[in-house]
Structure 1
Amino acid sequence: MSNTNDFNTMGRIISGIFFTFIFAISGYSLSLVPVFDRIGPLANAILLAIIYRQIFGYPELFRKGIAFSSKYLLRFAIILYGLKLNIEVIFEDGIGLLAKGFVTIAVAILLTLLLAKLFKADSEISLLLGIGTGVCGAAAIAAAAPIIKSKDEDTAISVGIIALVGTIFSIIYALILPFLPISDTQYGVWAGLSLHELAHVALAAEPAGEEALALALLAKLGRVLLLVPLCLILIFWVKNRNVTRSEERTNITFPWFLLGFVAMSVFGSYVLGNHVSVTIEVMDGISFITTFILTSAMVGLGLNVSLKDVKEKALRPLLAMLISSVVISLLMYWIAGV
């Protein structure tokens, strides 16, 4: 009987994982369609998952597999995300950009939270949006969410907002590029210091040329590197907050997947990066797998979104995040042009 139950449980987990894969594939397919190609597969997959939930309800049959994707595949994707980060290049050429990236993160989080308090917005969503805006979008939100004990619904809403707003900003950047009184390299630094996702930075900086794109990605990866110390600060903050609120005391477990993130960063920087036989195609393949797994994991979060409360919960944090994004854009434009 026990073996039968274990077999049934494993079957439900596997079928649930495949269920999220179907949405991820659909998100990639939708990203080939004009307009939706600007949003990206991750946001498309979450959008499809949210629509499915509103029409058909939560797929209870696949709950265990979906939960597995949301928890474990998500952490695995973040670990693989570390391969995108070349530590050696950052320390050789990007120390100044690293310091400027710290400014971006500090302003994004503090200003978003300040505005959220002023607008009486949902503090948890606002914090996730501030972290996503300051660091690296969905990956940063996914890393921070378990530390602050974020609800799946709030995490999914935050990821969706980041993807949408970041896409709009990157398109605006590309459109105004010909009219800006700064050099292409300065433009690249500006994009890397101010835009939300790594993909948004690439989208905005590519029209400015290879050198601008390289600087943009370097500036952005410096912000990604700061994700680890930021998460450690969050752990310290959450523990102290729980001490002062005895009714909310919980054990904050260390996010061990961040050590995997660091390990993959070191491995990618000093092993794969110096190995001639590792081709660009191989790295592109790893990048695709990472994004696909992250997309599949986010589907589970999207399926937990009920639109009944979204309007009330999301609009004010969105406004706070929009204002913060504009302020960061203007501030980093000035810094990049100095």
Structure 2
Amino acid sequence: MPLSRPAVTAALPGVALAVAIGLVATLVATAVPVVGGPVPAVVIGAVVGWLVRRRSASDAGAPATAIGTASAATASGLGALQPGVKFASARVLQFAVVLLGAQLSIGEVLRIGGETLPVMLSTLVVCLLAAWGIGRLLRVSSALRTLIGVGTGICGASAIAAVTPVIGAVSADVAYAMSTIFLCNIAAVFVFPLLGHALGLSQHAFGVFAGTAVNDTSSVVATATVYGRQATDTAVVVKLVRTLMIIPIVVGLAGLEARRTAREQAASVGAPGRAGGVRVFRLVPWFLIGFLVVVLLRTVGVLPAAAAPGFSTAATFLITVALAAIGLSTDFAALRRAGFRPMLLGIALWVLVAGTSLGAQAVFGLL
């Protein structure tokens, strides 16, 4: 649905600030590739948002301790920036997911997927089940354990970007999930190559390991590059195929969310729920349909392979801008209330996924 001119005008300040933060974060990623752009964008956005709200509260004469104590206060504290921040954190993020499809063709999926699919499915199933079970034991909220689970099991920031609008995750949950993923990515760059050499993994085996057990693309590349060129080539392809797991996961989550909403609506009017009547096409977010269309266009040659790096760069930048906006709206009080449990969940999932990847390769004869 196109935006009206007043809506565009209202959104400009917030979008401009998110883009500026995204550019700074991209410069950080260029200087330190292992860090990537999304995490610095969240951090810088969160700091800038906190400063904006603090100044706004100070101008209004409100006590500093009241800042960020509620989502409504967070939104009002951003003032004129709020419409643009909301737009960037939702629409821009969804469009970035569409562009990710340009990195894949059906041929690549069939060629690499047949060999690595059992490993990818094993790590994904273990990760999601563990996220649900361990997350419940640690009393981590449903939305946050979902974000950490898909971020660890699929593809870091891209999976979090795809799932966030489907489950209606709040900015504090997104920021915490991103921080957890970032911590594990940094550890992987240093630990995984040492582990690979200690286990005597071949270049191909380590590439599959890095592609299935490291979350973010930049960190996959950094981790595999330390091991060798062949490992890097394998890891990148495995990682791109792994990105396709976003589709069934998001469709499934959309279905669960639709059923939950239908039950709540039925209960509120005292009528029996009709969750089973939800139409399938209404469960599929528009940006995932766009993602599949772009994959098809890449396969038939409308989008040449030479254009893929440009689309990938654009998608990464848009995700960075969207996460800058999410950082701007981050509620620090909610982060403090979350405590250490979500981080502990993320580390536990990271270890389980790494172990499952190696175990699955051994079982399926890939080591």
Q: Into which bin does the TM-score normalised by the smaller protein fall?
A: 0.7 to 0.9
- Change over 3 Å in CA distance of 1:165–1:311 after alignment to 2: farther
State the partner residue of 1:165: 184
Aligned residue among 137, 140, 146 for 2:156? 137
Shift of residue 165 of structure 1?
2.0
CA distance in structure 2 between the aligned counterparts of 1:73 and 1:239, rounded to whole angstroms:
23
- Please list the CA deviations of residues 148-201 of structure 1 after superposition, one character each: whole Å capped at 9, or x if unmatched: 121232123222322332232233223444333221111111111111112221
- Please list the CA deviations of residues 248-271 of structure 1 after superposition, one character each: whole Å capped at 9, or x if unmatched: 999986411100011111212331
- Change over 3 Å in CA distance of 1:290–1:336 after alignment to 2: same
Letter in 2 for 1:54: W
Kept in 2: contact 1:191–1:216 (CA 8 A): yes
Kept in 1: contact 2:112–2:241 (CA 8 A): no
State the partner residue of 1:22: 20
Kept in 2: contact 1:133–1:196 (CA 8 A): yes
Gaps of 5+ in 1: 1-5
Aligned residue among 281, 287, 291 for 1:257? 287
- Change over 3 Å in CA distance of 1:314–1:203 after alignment to 2: farther
- Change over 3 Å in CA distance of 1:270–1:211 after alignment to 2: farther
SS in 1 for 2:166: coil
Letter in 1 for 2:42: I
Kept in 1: contact 2:161–2:319 (CA 8 A): no
State the partner residue of 1:73: 92
Aligned residue among 28, 31, 36 for 1:40? 36
Kept in 2: contact 1:174–1:207 (CA 8 A): yes
CA distance in structure 2 between the aligned counterparts of 1:121 and 1:22, rounded to whole angstroms:
33
CA distance in structure 1 between the aligned counterparts of 2:47 and 2:268, rounded to whole angstroms:
36
Aligned residue among 29, 34, 46 for 1:50? 46
Shift of residue 272 of structure 1?
5.2
- Please list the CA deviations of residues 256-293 of structure 1 after superposition, one character each: whole Å capped at 9, or x if unmatched: 110001111121233157x4xx53xx432222111111
Q: Which moved more, 1:295-304 or 1:252-261?
A: 252-261
Identity over aligned residues, as a percent?
A: 23
Tell me if 1:97 matches 2:122. Answer: no
CA distance in structure 2 between the aligned counterparts of 1:174 and 1:255, rounded to whole angstroms:
38
Kept in 2: contact 1:202–1:217 (CA 8 A): yes
- Change over 3 Å in CA distance of 1:168–1:21 after alignment to 2: same
State the partner residue of 2:129: 110
Letter in 1 for 2:228: G
Aligned residue among 285, 291, 316 for 1:291? 316
- Please list the CA deviations of residues 118-169 of structure 1 after superposition, one character each: whole Å capped at 9, or x if unmatched: 1112221011110111111111111112221212321232223223322322
Aligned residue among 237, 250, 255 for 1:236? 255
CA distance in structure 2 between the aligned counterparts of 1:28 and 1:81, rounded to whole angstroms:
17
Kept in 1: contact 2:34–2:219 (CA 8 A): no
CA distance in structure 1 between the aligned counterparts of 2:46 and 2:337, rounded to whole angstroms:
17
- Change over 3 Å in CA distance of 1:283–1:243 after alignment to 2: closer
Shift of residue 323 of structure 1?
0.7
CA distance in structure 2 between the aligned counterparts of 1:16 and 1:121, rounded to whole angstroms:
31
Kept in 2: contact 1:174–1:204 (CA 8 A): yes
Kept in 2: contact 1:129–1:158 (CA 8 A): yes
SS in 2 for 1:40: coil
Kept in 1: contact 2:120–2:212 (CA 8 A): yes
CA distance in structure 1 between the aligned counterparts of 2:222 and 2:302, rounded to whole angstroms:
25
Q: Normalising to structure 2: TM-score of the pair?
A: 0.81
CA distance in structure 2 between the aligned counterparts of 1:59 and 1:312, rounded to whole angstroms:
21
Kept in 2: contact 1:129–1:321 (CA 8 A): yes
Kept in 1: contact 2:21–2:324 (CA 8 A): yes
SS in 2 for 1:146: helix
CA distance in structure 2 between the aligned counterparts of 1:298 and 1:332, rounded to whole angstroms:
29
CA distance in structure 2 between the aligned counterparts of 1:115 and 1:247, rounded to whole angstroms:
32
State the partner residue of 2:67: none
Rg comparison, structure with higher value: 2
Aligned residue among 269, 275, 279 for 2:299? 269
Q: Which moved more, 1:178-187 or 1:103-112?
A: 178-187
- Change over 3 Å in CA distance of 1:44–1:175 after alignment to 2: farther
SS in 2 for 1:38: coil
State the partner residue of 1:3: none
